[in-house]
Amino acid sequence: MHFLIFILFFAIACSNNDSGSDAPQSQQENTQLEVLLDRSDVIWGFDFLPDKRIIFTERSGHLLVWDPNQNSTSDISGLPPISSSGESGLLDLELHPNFDSNQLVYFCYSEPGRTIALGRGELNESTLNNVQKLFSANNANSSSIHFGCRIEFDDAGKVFLSLGDQNEPSRAQDSNSFLGKIVRMNDDGSGLEIWSSGHRNVQGLAIRPGTNDLFEVEHGPTGGDELNIIEQGNNYGWPLVTRGEPAGELGQSAPGFVDPLASWTPAIAPSGITFYQGDLYIACLRGRQIRRISLDGSTVTNQEILFSDAGYRFRNLRPGPDGFLYFSTDSGELGRIVPSVSSP
């Protein structure tokens, strides 16, 4: 059964480069979080099928579809073996831009041995058929943290995939390793190239509509979470340059490394991001909030903290076909932001 969390939409103006915890309240609108589905596992990624059903991942290794007409959830079989512990498991999910004709579902996961991989399969009712592994980082290790694993298609049908450093910071500066990188490939896995380097744990990717601007967010060590625009060949510094603690060997900024558009200390643990009605929205795990970021080109002009009273670790965000902004959480909620019922 659907239920509503009635909550004032608190919009707290923040400075461009801090958490804004002491900023005054600037705006207050009546909106609410409508929870459509309430489960217990981390809903890491989700997307919308043409028939208005929602396909989503649970980090423990389940791929599911929720039918709003029946309010029922069904499992999708056919996934490859998945290693699930700590931050590893079945992570992001994205439908191919031509899903209507090819039925392709892309998913990021950790293989046995905890290696980051990208797979795809053809959705046929309750089964993934012709499952292929398009990419593997080939870096099995014992770490269960910093997997990254966000997927984003550009307008040309190229696939971007983020990879965390898997708790091996030096790999982010190693050109022979995929860890701590964002890679780009064709939709069949061919044409693989390292697009950018020097990343710690990228959990959000989004292309600004009408442009080729690829935005990302990543976790810093202790503080120093970042928002960046990603450009081919750029190095974003980790672990040599960071605004978190402990300080990088080269400090907070250095020649040859790209400074972030914004950074946050204390940490907000940014996860999924999306553009909605002209602004960038960030699902935040720490602070249990959604951030709305206003941009003028590549300049952050304003930040607002939303729904910090809801108590959720927000994991992902995506605009829905009905025009509402949808969210998922680490405690298994899937829902949307809707207007409040007017007071009499």
Compute the Cα dihedral for 339, 341, 343, 344 and give only its sign.
Answer: positive
Residues 6+ apart with CB under 8 A from 181: 163, 172, 194, 195, 196, 197, 199
For residue 48, the cross-strand partners are: 54
Q: How far apart are CA 209 and CA 276, in angstroms?
A: 9
Question: CA 142, 93, 5: angle at the middle one, nearest 5?
Answer: 105
Three-state DSSP class for residue 99: helix
- DSSP structure class, residue 221: S
Q: What share of the chain is helix, strand, coil (3-state, %, to 5)?
A: 5, 50, 45
100 membership: H or E segment, kind and range: helix 99-102
- Of residues 197 and 114, more confidence is placed in 197
SS3 of residue 172 by DSSP? helix
Write the pLDDT tens digit of every residue in 33-78. 999 999 999 999 999 999 999 999 999 999 999 999 999 999 999 9
The domain spans of the chain are 3-339
Q: Which of 285, 284, 304, 283 is nearest to 293 (CA)?
A: 304
**Could you read off the pLDDT of 284-343 as tens digits, one per residue?**
999 999 999 999 999 999 999 999 999 999 999 999 999 999 999 999 999 999 998 764
CA distance 197 to 174: 9
Q: Is 33 left (phi over 0), alpha (psi -120 to 50) or beta?
A: beta
Alpha-carbon span 32 to 293, nearest angstrom: 19
pLDDT value of residue 4: 55
Q: Kindly report, residue by residue over 190-213, the tens digit of the pLDDT.
A: 999 999 999 999 999 999 999 999
As a whole number, mean pLDDT of residues 216-231 equals 98
Q: Which residue in the block uniquely carries the two structure tokens 């905890």?
A: 114
Q: Which CATH superfamily, name and number, covers 3-339?
A: TolB, C-terminal domain (2.120.10.30)
Query: b or e along 84-94 (b: 16 or more beta carbons within 10 Å of the residue's beta carbon)?
Result: beebbbbbbbb
- Rounded to an integer, what distance in angstroms lies between the CA atom of residue 176 and that of residue 260? 24
Contact 38, 66 (CB under 8 A): no
Entry pTM: 0.93
Q: Is 138 helix (H, G, I), strand (E, B) or coil?
A: coil
Candidate from 22-26, 185-189, 267-271, 273-277 with smallest mean pLDDT: 22-26
Catalytic residue among 96, 146, 199, 219: 146
219 included as an active-site residue = no
